[in-house]
Structure 1
Amino acid sequence: MAKVLEKSSYIYEMSAKHKPVLHASAGDTVEIETYDCFLNQIQSEETSYQSIDWTQINPATGPIYINGAEEGDILVVKINKIELEDRGVMATGPDLGVMGHRIDKFSLKMIQIEGNDAVFNEQIRLPLNPMIGVIGVAPKEGAVSCGTPGDHGGNMDTKLIGEGATLYFPVFHSGALFSLGDVHAAMGDGEVCVSGIEIPAKVTVTLDVIKGGNLNVPVVETSDSMAFLVSKQTLDESAEKAVEEMVDYLLERTDLTIEDATMLLSAAGQVQVSQIVDPLKTARCLVSKELLNKLGITKVF
């Protein structure tokens, strides 16, 4: 039977100082309830900017202590299911997102979920792509706001982090101290208005631990690809570091030279944008599993 973690247990920053609200072991499945990124404060398009408590943004449910996870290990998180509530919200306004310098008023859009669609307006229905914006472990040092991504994960806003995906995180502290939140019904690469379709949800995950792994930054594995996720001050820095992580991954597992590994990524790899609106920007370097199989890599880790 799955363990259950209610949304009432949440944090606004990821840190080793937090006491765990749940203990789990490798192989355990956990159902995790989440608020939306606004702590469910917005219930109407008439909600004013001033009425929102902006200190209560991006709550992440947790943290969960994973028994046996120690510094230097890899935490494995399999996303089994994302169950959405029936209404989400989007927001943008002055100084928010990419177009904030040209938008002169705060604007909200309540978006109904009907079947497999999000109803954007009378003309446009968008296919659902449930994904998790904030997911990660306690960072190596200090406390990091759940609104900021990093080597520990956090607010990576990567649309590949959806049902069926598996996440790999470096463990920096005993128990890993895993949390997640900020679920989206759908989101495009970039998250350019500063929000996806923000929505409360229930996420079911299965946890595991790889002992003594060698991992510096998060990795996401899907049915047909794997990608390194890197967050830095600029997209250029993030993209370059993601490529470097992928090159090192290939060098450790194949007989490729650094020249051939780099050329292979230039010919068949994908450098992609995850988000460009958070305090640090997130990019990913992705390769197909078909390519990995040709290199003799049949298991990501």
Structure 2
Amino acid sequence: MSVKHDKSHEAGATHDFHGGICGCCGPSATRGMSGAEVDLAVEQRGERLTRLDEVRGDDVDHLLSARSRRGFLKAGGLFGALAAAAPVLSRARAEGTGGFSLFQQGGGRVHVVESTYETTKWGIFDSNLPDIVQIESGDVVSYPNTWSHFLNDLQPGMPIEEIARLRLAHPGVGPHSIIGPVGVRDAEPGDVLEIQYLRVRPTDWAVCFNNPGALGTGALPDAFPQGQAKYFDLDTANNTSEFAPGIQLRLAPFQGTMGVAPANGVFPTPPGHAYGVISSVPPGQHAGNVDCREAGEGSRLFVPVFQRGGKIFTGDSHALQGDGEVTLTAMETAMKEIRVRVILHKQVALAWPMHETPDAWIVHGTNPDLDTAFRIALLNAIDFLEARAGLTRLDAYALCSLAVSFRVTQVVNGQKGIYGVIPKRIFHPQLRAAMGVI
């Protein structure tokens, strides 16, 4: 089970939280040290590092796994002390399970962004914040040991009454622990960011809850005046979880929220917040809380840029979700690590976010009205097929009726979501190879 974050430990932290992982004396020294030896070396150094030697992708894995194994490697130890150093990890491996044929190997630096009270906010995208780190196109961002909802206060066994109290105490914003912003150098409105999901690894517990009906959340608040918080142990080795005796679920982890700062004024400012702040709840053209269950490890998100630097935010980790997310929640969890590569595409005409998986291209539409959300998604599918497959607009419309599956991402976030799945298998390999979001 996850251990609740020690808030008192962060209170006096003064270090930056945007750096990469490195070896104090080169990669071999770091790889061969125990956690205690690394802490001792950092303490003896007594100064900020100004240079990092080359560290391989497996060195990153080693240090991240070591941090998970050893309770004394906390934010104030290895990660905190090294965070101010310039992240110049010169080679990052794109590795993981299935689907990685989508990604080009190597290239870029690795930046580690820890969850702290400086990097993580309760239920908002705040475009006024300075970037935690500014990355280059092709760089990798690792988010280790992310937080559960309510800035990690949500832990196994929390009763639904306390969950509801926390939600009511923060009106107008989401329950999510949102990490960001991460800036992308030279990104500006009219560009597109491609976010490649290299690693999506959940922790060992999750919860699905519906608030008491009086809160008015979920698809059927009137039918369920009572609330419930149902907790799960996650067997991450076998990628399964038991829902109830005789009911076994196959995990399919993904980030419910990944997106950029939207254009100012598109969404209302929550009470008590400055202009430029929005709730993390509604998805939109900036992506955000899209809740697309297909967007797991090995997929890619393409999202248009609306503000200089893009400003990437993420959170709302899921171990599993059905289309609709009807209770309000999926299998809400935290992540041992989210690892993404970010590619900047300059001045690309893309009005709405799209996902790509090894098997499909996925278009989206969101709106408070489900019919309008469907219309947006359908028009986006027609636009894609006309532009990328070379079809007439009428033929693209017909193909959508014959081969494209339109599904509901969620109906519980104010902005309802529809996504259209365009299967790659229907296209001749030569045509398929020539098609793409960008």
If the TM-score is normalised by the length of the shorter chain, which range does it land in?
over 0.9
Q: Deviations over 1:184-226 (max 9, x none)?
A: 1101000011111111112000010111111111100000101
Q: 1:92 to 1:271 in 2, by over 3 A?
A: same
Among 196, 209, 221, the alignment partner of 2:356 is 221
Distance 1:258 1:22 in 2: 43
- Asked if 1:3 is matched to 2:121, the reply is no
Q: Could you tell me which residue of structure 1 aligns to residue 179 of structure 2?
A: 61
Q: Could you tell me which residue of structure 2 aligns to residue 40 of structure 1?
A: 152
Among 69, 72, 87, the alignment partner of 2:205 is 87
Q: 1:293 to 1:62 in 2, by over 3 A?
A: farther
Deviation at 1:144, TM superposition (A): 2.6
Among 111, 115, 128, the alignment partner of 1:17 is 128
Q: Could you tell me which residue of structure 2 aligns to residue 76 of structure 1?
A: 194
Cα contact 1:10–1:63 (8 A) shared by 2: no
Distance 1:236 1:293 in 2: 32
Letter in 2 for 1:152: H
Distance 2:371 2:323 in 1: 16
Q: Unaligned 5+ residue runs, structure 2? A: 1-88, 90-109, 266-276
Q: Deviations over 1:164-193 (max 9, x none)?
A: 010000001111000111011101000011
Query: Residue 252 of structure 2 aligns to a residue in which SS?
Result: coil
Deviation at 1:275, TM superposition (A): 0.6
Q: Unaligned 5+ residue runs, structure 1? A: none
Cα contact 2:152–2:177 (8 A) shared by 1: no
TM-score normalised per structure 1: 0.94
Q: Could you tell me which residue of structure 1 aligns to residue 415 of structure 2?
A: 280
Q: Could you tell me which residue of structure 2 aligns to residue 167 of structure 1?
A: 301
Letter in 2 for 1:127: R
Cα contact 1:59–1:146 (8 A) shared by 2: no
Letter in 2 for 1:90: C
Distance 1:23 1:214 in 2: 24
Deviation at 1:47, TM superposition (A): 2.1
Among 250, 270, 273, the alignment partner of 1:127 is 250
- Asked if 1:105 is matched to 2:226, the reply is yes
Deviation at 1:32, TM superposition (A): 1.3
Distance 1:233 1:48 in 2: 27
Query: Residue 53 of structure 1 aligns to a residue in which SS?
Result: helix
- Asked if 1:30 is matched to 2:164, the reply is no
Deviation at 1:71, TM superposition (A): 1.0
Distance 2:151 2:418 in 1: 27
Distance 1:137 1:87 in 2: 28
Distance 2:371 2:349 in 1: 24
Distance 2:130 2:197 in 1: 24
Distance 1:48 1:191 in 2: 18
Among 399, 410, 420, the alignment partner of 1:264 is 399
Q: Deviations over 1:91-123 (max 9, x none)?
A: 113133123211122211111011311222333
Letter in 2 for 1:63: P
- Asked if 1:136 is matched to 2:259, the reply is yes
Q: Deviations over 1:39-83 (max 9, x none)?
A: 332334352424642226112111100112111010000001111
Distance 2:323 2:199 in 1: 21
Letter in 2 for 1:53: L
Distance 1:230 1:205 in 2: 24
- Which of the two has greater helix per residue? 2
Cα contact 2:353–2:364 (8 A) shared by 1: yes
Distance 1:223 1:85 in 2: 25
Q: Which moved more, 1:154-163 or 1:56-65?
A: 56-65
Q: 1:148 to 1:184 in 2, by over 3 A?
A: same
Distance 1:211 1:280 in 2: 28
TM-score normalised per structure 2: 0.66
Cα contact 1:275–1:282 (8 A) shared by 2: yes
Letter in 2 for 1:73: D
Cα contact 1:189–1:274 (8 A) shared by 2: yes
Distance 1:258 1:19 in 2: 43
Count residues in correspondence. 301
Letter in 1 for 2:303: F
Distance 2:227 2:152 in 1: 17
Q: Could you tell me which residue of structure 2 aligns to residue 300 of structure 1?
A: 437
